Structure 1
Amino acid sequence: MADAIAAHRAGQLDQAVTGYRAVLAIAPDTLPALTNLGSILRQHGQLEEAIGLLQRAVALPGSNQHAAYNLGNALRAAHRPAEAVAAFRLATERQPGWALAQCNLGVALADVAEWDAAEQALRQALQLEPNLALAQDNLAALLSTRLMAMQYQPVETTRLYQQAQAFAALCPPADPMPDRPPQAGQPLRVGFLSPDLCDHPVGMFLLPVLDALDRQRIQPVLYSTGGRDDDTRQALKQQAAWLDVSALDSASLLATLRSHQLDVLVDLSGHTAGHRLAVLARRAAPLQVSWLGYFATTGVPAMDYVLMDRWHVPAGAETQFTEQVAYLPAGRFCYRAPGFAPAVAPPPALQRGYITFGSFNNPAKYHDGVFDRWAQILAAVPDSRLLLKWRDYSEASARQQVRDAFARRGIDPERMTLRPFSCHAELLGEYADMDIALDPFPFTGGHTSCEALWMGVPVVSWPQARPVSRQTWAFLSALGLTELAGHTGEDYVQIAVDLAARLPYLATLRQTLRARMLASPLCNAAGFARGFETLLTQLYHTRVKRTAN
């Protein structure tokens, strides 16, 4: 046993494994051998054997906290979070003051969405060991993840603001950074940071803007922190200098960004998955701006501005942000349809004899309030159908969950059509099966609404106080179709019901929507780019003057 432990400590893991196995062959209930061998096998990815060994260790009389802790790590690695929670709880019971066990308990609780208990465990870990970086990082990640989850629900803006501030309180303080005075005739060096520079709404909205930028005014640099390689990514790489920084830790990414001497860094993530807000909190560029991929305050003090428009943030709504709100003159988004988009089809109701409502949004946006209103619409429009599409609906359980939800609301499940993932071109073609799109709320459609409108399908929306609830409202306003948006839930239902009774209008609108879009600011990339360039230049000059004084 002593030789196996010595090899383990020396990093000679193969020799240690051999030694521990030899001990267990003679004495199968040797606690240190079971625990240490299980730990090594977990690190090597041999999870099932590791879990079996560690479960034996935990069950032994006189077992200790280390066996339970290692079992929790193995179970979490095996994607068995509920069992991991139980193991980490046992570790904290066996050694109540162990900060690292409390930390991992918090992480496992977050895995099963027990947010309050997870936050409590992580804060307790920091009380036990205030400088435990792992607990600080995981608590910040938890608060950010929870904040993003709250965005999908009908939560008060004050709660969202407070959650963002709680996250910001855990961020490191910003370092001072000197501004570079603007040089006459020189473009601003502007970095764009995101994990979504690919076939994702962020990448697809960004592409036409980059294509139209005047390189005499803006010199763009793209920093990719993740995502996949696809046609959109390849197109983005043709538009700007490209750096893959996905493998860099926070310190290395911060050093890289600072070394490039950017004038402006545009964060395209906010609190969405894969963000690097901890880096921006330290300040990576003299001027830092939030845009496009997020729709609320980051809470980060070093984020100077958020780019919005008056449709998303009307007068008085600026108080929802810790950042200063800067207004893009042509809107927050610029849309360009893909070349493979099919021609607009006639309303399917003309042939089928019934109205098909639908939504191709992420089901995370659907909650009881959304389904309540959609059920009211279906009940008021006889024989109407509801068409939903998302990758989750390849699973029978996900489809059944939706059908059951509408059955509880008195809607025949046979009126539901639930379609799974398909390629982008096929998805666009499936709008031929939809007469009227129903926008979820408060998290309304962004790129999804643009695509529905491009395919001739009117979108009924319900804008509320939060900017994310006003995305489709911004599109409808740009197109002169504000009559498709209601001010209350009752309005929302009535607009959809009334629209369903106007088939000739639907047919005309369907054939003219694409032309409306092309003539609107929403699809004017050149106009958008001029406004974007001017706004960033003004913000940077304002920053330089402010720091000079």
Structure 2
Amino acid sequence: MLSPQTLFSDASKSFHRGHFTEALTSLNKLLDHSKDAKTYSLLARTLVALGFREDAARTYVLAAELGGSRAEDHYAEAMKIYFDLGHDDLALSLGRPLLQRAQKDPELAFIITSLFMKRGEKDMVRVFLPALSMSENSQHNSLAFLLLTGTPENDRDRESVANLLSRMPNSLILIMAHLVAQREVNNYVEMERLQPRLERIASNDRRLLGVETPFYNLHWLTDEAMNKLVSHKADAFPASHPQERLTMPHIWGQKIRIGYLSSDFWSQHATMKLFRAVLAAHDPDRFEVTLFCYTDPMHLEHDTGRENWGRIVNVRDLSYPATAQVIRDHNIDILVEMKGHTRGGRPGILNFKAAPVQVAWLGFPGTTVNIDLDYIIGDHYVLPDASKPHYWEKFCRLPETYQPNDPYERPRRDLFTRADANLPDDAFVFGSFNATRKISLANINLWIKLLKATPKSVLWIMCKSNDSRDNILRKLTTAGIETRRIVFTKVVSYEEHLARLSLADVGLDTYPYNGHTTTSEQLWAGLPVLTMKGQHFASRVSESLLNAIGVPELIAKDEADYLKRAVELYENPQEVKALRARLEENRLVKPLFDAERFCRHLETAYEMMADRARQKLAPDHLDVPALPPRTAPFLIEGA
């Protein structure tokens, strides 16, 4: 009788010579006397070689269950076989103990990720994104791309996109994703490396339009003709839908029924800081208002005051078609879509014929591609005549500004001194309070010129992330700006934010994507904001707001004029003082913060839209006439 050691040696020799049947014979004899992990492992490899893969997988599991230093290896081999055979449940049951190991093993990561994603559990496996993105296997890389969250502030996403781009440097979609992520943290080195290439691609290769998202496109490309085509799909909705909506059975009542659709119906969101006063001002004798809300519940846990906004219908858990049906059930005449292509938006609901008139307003500063819309609400600044060919929607232009504002819940208090904000008392303070991703490469380079031309100034920047802070600081100091002249501040409470704005001398607007709510907040605080005329909606917003409060001289015509005006303000503190006085004088008289006046203009717009729809007339460009100017304040503060 041969000893177990001899039988194993014979089996091993036969296996390595390719004599798999002989190896199997020796192993079967051995198993009558010895059942250890080493024997089962060799048996499993032999069964694989003979084509008995399912038997091999079961044998690897037996080897693993006996423990030892290679137990994980045996589980991994069994899982791979079951995955290849399509036995997903068995593979997944073996993969769970291997989650830690898979974070460094792209092959295991690929299998476990594939299995979880089949179950719709993508969030469970994003931990494997780095391993998949660094793999040399293109299949692994493709799966890594599917794991991206689409949120550029996500550190893991940013690192993984960079890894993928290093392996596929000519991939348009990766170039775009990488630049979006690097703009989020103000990585000007990468922007300098890739932005010129992107601009060349944009002018020569229309494939770019198919891989970028409309929202991030607006941050760098101001060509409205191209903005219109980003992500465009000719079959996004049937071409017959607009006419069908216009002619479908609909009962018009004495009141116009307005539906607002958004996920931003919570008090601290920027949209509601602008919009809530309009809701309070709507004339209940002429309009019936319903908010169709898909706001994340976490924002509503401690939210107060929503009951004052009107009827709220929760559609968060409904599909697009089901939501459209709910809107039809409420017999809405005009549906106002308030998110567009911003994060979390569901504009696709409008592609299911939700209302006779469908309108875009406030949330997205551009044309809403692929969505069945009749109108976009704007004004003559953000939507000039020359832009009409570059929009899918017809223009409905309000007479003064497209942006509403709430003057009632915007506190004005002197809470801070410059010392509290680490600002020098004797310096001229330029302030930037927009999201730092809006500080473009051209923008920061112009600010460097400004700081060099104004040696007794400081730049005060609101900054959310440490990465952005480090990158901005590196860019400025590398250009020769002293560290002491750069002061960073973090995001603070709304009341504190409004209170600190007046510590600056002049606010510097960003381009090509302006401040929106941020600009109006600065103007409310009495801070002059310098902007530059733009070439698309997102770059014209501050122009609209500055005109609406009566300080058009703060609108520069180009970069050179922006620099010239900023230097002049620095050199003429009396002019800054006069601008502050004018802002204070105009704040409660001019249209920008006059919510009731704005609401009357908006209601006129709705009546003009409804009048055409009642007559079964197709949408056409509409310009709302202005009410007579106010001669007295619309609000007496402290009364």
TM over 0.5: yes
1:361 and 2:462 aligned = no
Contact 1:188–1:218 (Cα < 8 Å) also in 2: yes
Whole-Å separation in 2 of the counterparts to 1:193 and 1:47: 41
Identity %: 22
Whole-Å separation in 2 of the counterparts to 1:342 and 1:42: 62
Contact 1:47–1:78 (Cα < 8 Å) also in 2: no
1:217-262 deviation digits (Å, cap 9, x = unpaired): 2211112222453699533431211122222232332332232221
Contact 1:152–1:442 (Cα < 8 Å) also in 2: yes
Contact 1:344–1:456 (Cα < 8 Å) also in 2: no
Whole-Å separation in 2 of the counterparts to 1:32 and 1:444: 56
Whole-Å separation in 2 of the counterparts to 1:454 and 1:469: 20
Structure 1 gaps of 5+ residues are 1-17, 93-100, 122-141
Contact 2:222–2:535 (Cα < 8 Å) also in 1: no
Which residue is equivalent to 2:314?
244
Q: 1:280 to 1:444 in 2, by over 3 A?
A: same
Whole-Å separation in 1 of the counterparts to 2:144 and 2:235: 21
Q: CA RMSD in A?
A: 4.0
Whole-Å separation in 1 of the counterparts to 2:587 and 2:96: 54
Structure 1 residues 305-316: aligned runs within 5 Å: 305-316=375-386
The residue type paired with residue 284 of structure 1 is A
Whole-Å separation in 1 of the counterparts to 2:565 and 2:582: 20
Shift of 1:473: 0.7
Structure 1 residues 162-241: aligned runs within 5 Å: 162-166=229-233, 169-170=235-236, 175=241, 176-177=244-245, 178-179=247-248, 183=252, 186-198=254-266, 199-227=268-296, 228-229=298-299, 234-241=304-311
Of 149, 164, 172, 1:116 maps to 172
Q: 1:360 to 1:301 in 2, by over 3 A?
A: closer
Shift of 1:545: 2.1
Whole-Å separation in 1 of the counterparts to 2:442 and 2:536: 16
Which residue is equivalent to 1:506?
576
Structure 1 residues 265-414: aligned runs within 5 Å: 265-300=335-370, 302-337=372-407, 338-343=409-414, 352-392=425-465, 395=466, 397-414=467-484
1:534 and 2:580 aligned = no
Q: 1:351 to 1:405 in 2, by over 3 A?
A: closer
* 3-state secondary structure, aligned to 1:433: coil
Shift of 1:384: 0.6
Whole-Å separation in 2 of the counterparts to 1:116 and 1:171: 26
Of 131, 156, 163, 1:83 maps to 131
The residue type paired with residue 361 of structure 1 is N
The residue type paired with residue 400 of structure 1 is D
1:480 and 2:553 aligned = no
Q: 1:456 to 1:21 in 2, by over 3 A?
A: farther
Which residue is equivalent to 1:152?
219
Whole-Å separation in 1 of the counterparts to 2:540 and 2:618: 37
Contact 1:34–1:53 (Cα < 8 Å) also in 2: no
Contact 2:359–2:376 (Cα < 8 Å) also in 1: yes
1:46-69 deviation digits (Å, cap 9, x = unpaired): 98842525876937xxx9x85673
* 3-state secondary structure, aligned to 2:259: strand
Contact 2:104–2:131 (Cα < 8 Å) also in 1: no
Whole-Å separation in 1 of the counterparts to 2:452 and 2:90: 57
Structure 1 residues 486-525: aligned runs within 5 Å: 486-525=556-595
Which residue is equivalent to 1:7?
none
The residue type paired with residue 323 of structure 1 is E
Q: 1:519 to 1:74 in 2, by over 3 A?
A: closer
Structure 2 gaps of 5+ residues are 1-57, 151-156, 166-170, 178-208, 620-639
Contact 2:423–2:487 (Cα < 8 Å) also in 1: no
Whole-Å separation in 1 of the counterparts to 2:313 and 2:211: 25
Q: 1:326 to 1:164 in 2, by over 3 A?
A: farther
Q: 1:391 to 1:302 in 2, by over 3 A?
A: same
TM score, norm. by length of structure 1: 0.79
Shift of 1:108: 4.2
Contact 2:334–2:356 (Cα < 8 Å) also in 1: yes
* 3-state secondary structure, aligned to 1:518: coil
Whole-Å separation in 2 of the counterparts to 1:317 and 1:428: 34
Q: 1:255 to 1:145 in 2, by over 3 A?
A: farther
Rg larger for: 2
Whole-Å separation in 1 of the counterparts to 2:59 and 2:343: 43
* 3-state secondary structure, aligned to 1:162: coil
Which residue is equivalent to 2:517?
447
Which residue is equivalent to 2:65?
25
Whole-Å separation in 2 of the counterparts to 1:234 and 1:66: 47
Aligned residues: 495
Whole-Å separation in 2 of the counterparts to 1:341 and 1:47: 56
The residue type paired with residue 532 of structure 1 is L
